[in-house]
Amino acid sequence: MRLDVPPGRGWCAARFRVRYAETDAAGVVHHAAYLPWFEEGRSELSRQVGAPYSELEKRGVDLVVVKVEARYRVAARYDDQVVVWTRLSEVGSRRCVFTYQVVREADGELLVTGSTEHVALSRASGRPTRIPEPFLSRYAGAAAVP
């Protein structure tokens, strides 16, 4: 399956090379290595919508991962240039869901898809909290793109 163009509106691209340290003895990228790529995808999206995750942390709020799903179709290899397409697929006042498509740049092959679900936790109390403004409305705006 090929994806030659952005998967659609509302998707944000993070691009990088596969590192040797991300491979395993099967000669391909280890399946756990895609989770930091997803994380980098949502980091990039939050920067691009003007709501960087590093700023949210300074406000004492973490978007804790409560669920991860990943489906592996084709393995990436060392030195491949990849794009992680990321979209905010759901946003509520205390939770959100990001969706990912990892694509090999050379030929547009779709490698891995996945999603992560998050809840906002106050670092002080360790309890669920509202995503503070302006983060909530910026995330909601990103998710509303048709």
Bridge partners, 118 (sequence order): 65, 96
Contact predicate 61/122, CB 8 Å: yes
Q: How far apart are CA 140 and CA 110, in angstroms?
A: 27
Assign 103 to helix, strand or coil.
strand
Q: How far apart are CA 62 and CA 44, in angstroms?
A: 16
Q: Which stretch binds a copy of itself (CB under 8 A): 2-10, 56-64, 87-95, 101-109?
A: 56-64
Catalytic residue status for 107 = no
Mark 19-38 with x for binding to a copy of itself (rule: CB under 8 A) and - for no binding.
xxxxxxxxxx-xxxx-xx--
- For residue 102, the minimal CB distance to a copy of itself (Å) is 14
Q: Known catalytic residues?
A: 24
Query: Which residues make up the interface to a copy of itself (CB under 8 A)?
Result: 16-17, 19-28, 30-33, 35-36, 39-40, 43, 52-54, 57, 62, 64-73, 75, 77-79, 123
